Amino acid sequence: MATKEEVRDVIIIGSGPAGLTAAIYAARANLKPLVIEGGGSAPGGNLPGGQLMLTTEVENYPGFVQGIMGPDMMKIFRDQAARFGTEYTTAEVTKVDFSIRPFKIWIGDDVHLARSVIISTGAKSLMLNLPREDRLLGHGLSTCATCDGFFFTGQEVAVVGGGDSAMEEALFLTKFARQVTMIHRRDAFRASKIMQQRVLRHPKIRVLWNSQVTELVGESQLEAVKLHNKESNRDSVMKVGGLFYAIGHVPNTSLFKGQLEMDPAGYLVTGQGARTNVEGVFAAGDVQDHVYRQAVTAAGSGCMAAIDAERWLESQPTESVIAGTPTNW
Ligand code: NAP
């Protein structure tokens, strides 16, 4: 095991819009942040750049009049943070200890020490795990109607899921699509009654009950889906311009279990800005937000986390190797 001698002012875990915005602000505040950006292409690893690396065109981020490809946008964020002195490590964090300061962050056998930590490890959309999902994501397959709905103007689209997210996505898509088909694996939605009513009464929405997507059809662009109806035991093919998965998300918080307060779904709980329940540990982006999930809101909360971290560090004695005390806000 190799413990780094340097105690960093800030270590940022995760490199989506939240982490990289936090890095821009922390670097410009002279905190020399280290961003542990994820494990590159390692199997099961977190993707440096986060979920935007899996999208194509981003048209709703202010400042990009013509839109920008998700990966290009993340490269700009990364370069901007590097310009002010941010350092990067392309690796997965394997363990953390926030019970004592300086905080300890492990990458394999290497231990990094930090006075403060910003967590921006994001969340993952649940997938059906069908063949060709990776290839078709951003090419007809999407996990975010708010982000991609506009691209399907005048087309037929389908939404998979029966929870509140699926209802919201379907209703949002009616603004653009000619018809929205909801594909649900059971004969009843689990969404709130009011959302169900809005969906079921909407003239542009129809529901395929007891149905599951069994195959995505299309090589470089989604063209259709194969369906299996569990009740009739029949298979069918439905042509669609777009397919939206809305079957839930999981926050990337398994590293922090038992150390940071989480809600029942595993999202980090923040209060008073970006503070977690451990003093000196902050959280930003989708890891603490299951409501908005947008690049711009993630970036905004990354900015908040960096400002909160800077102010908190300023309030600390310089050599503060003291027990990390949980705090109530
Ligand atoms: P969710 O409530 O867990 O619903 C997921 C849906 O996807 C369920 O209908 C589930 O089917 C279906 N599903 C899961 N895995 C599937 C699979 N492999 N194949 C086919 N279908 C699958 O998730 P969510 O809708 O994202 O909502 C998460 C939480 O946020 C909920 O508490 C929700 O109320 C809340 N939320 C609230 C709002 C709002 O109030 N405006 C908006 C969005 C979300 P089954 O029903 O058969 O399990």
Tens of each residue's pLDDT in the chain, 329 residues: 677 789 999 999 999 999 999 999 999 999 999 999 998 654 456 778 888 887 778 888 999 999 999 899 999 999 999 999 999 999 999 999 999 999 999 999 999 999 999 999 999 999 999 999 999 999 999 999 988 999 999 999 999 999 999 999 999 999 999 999 999 999 999 999 999 999 999 999 999 999 999 999 999 999 999 999 999 999 999 999 999 999 999 999 999 999 999 999 999 999 999 999 999 999 999 999 999 989 999 999 999 999 999 999 999 986 544 444 444 44
Shared domain check, 6 and 92: yes
Kindly provide the residue ranges of all beta strands, DSSP E only, lying in 268-313, ordered along the sequence: 281-283
Do 236 and 254 fall within a single domain? Answer: no
Residue 232 lies in a domain: yes
Catalytic residues: 144, 147-148
Q: What is the CATH number of the domain that holds 132?
A: 3.50.50.60
Q: Which of 207, 229, 245 marks a domain boundary?
A: 245
Is residue 259 assigned to a domain? Answer: yes
Cα(224) to centroid(ligand 1), Å: 23
Q: 17: CA distance to ligand 1 center in Å?
A: 25
d(CA 241, CA 231): 26
CB of 299 sitting under 6 A from ligand 1: no
In which domain, by residue range, is 206 found?
Answer: 127-245
- Out of 227, 245, 263, a domain closes at 245
Q: Per the structure, how many domains does the chain have? A: 2
Q: Are residues 273 and 235 in the same domain?
A: no
Ranges assigned E (strand) in 26-122: 34-36, 57-58, 68-69, 87-89, 95-97, 103-107, 110-119
- Indicate whether 325 belongs to any domain: no
Ligand 1 atom closest to the CA of 247, numbered from 1: 7
Q: What is the pTM of this model?
A: 0.81
**Is 18 within 8 Å of 286 (Cβ atoms)?**
yes
In this structure, the answer to whether residues 273 and 309 fall within a common structural domain is: yes
Distance of CA 32 to the CA centre of its chain: 25
Q: Can you tell me the distance from the alpha carbon of 175 to that of 314, in angstroms, rounded to the nearest whole number? A: 48
6 and 64 housed in the same domain = yes
Q: Which of 164, 168, 199 to mutate to test the pocket of ligand 1 (most atoms within 8 A of CB)?
A: 164
Determine the distance separating the centroid of ligand 1 and the alpha carbon of 147, expressed in angstroms.
19
Judge if 148 and 165 occupy the same domain: yes
Q: How far apart are CA 290 and CA 141, in angstroms?
A: 21
Rounded Cα distance, 78 and 36, in Å: 12
Does the beta carbon of 95 lie inside 6 Å of ligand 1?
A: no
Query: Which residue, 140, 141, 158, is CA-closest to 205?
Result: 158
Same domain, yes or no: 168 and 199:
yes
Residue 190 Cα: closest atom of ligand 1: 46
Residues 6+ apart with CB under 8 A from 19: 12, 13, 35, 37, 50, 118, 120, 284, 285, 302
Q: Which of 171, 182, 185, 244 to mutate to test the pocket of ligand 1 (most atoms within 8 A of CB)?
A: 185
CB 143 within 8 A of CB 245: yes
Task: Give residue 258 CA to ligand 1 midpoint distance, Å.
Answer: 26
Q: With beta carbons less than 8 A apart as the criterion, state whether 278 and 260 touch.
A: yes
Verify that 239 and 138 share a domain, yes or no.
Answer: yes
**322 falls within a domain:** no
Residue 326 counted as domain residue: no
Of 217, 245, 273, the residue that ends a domain is 245
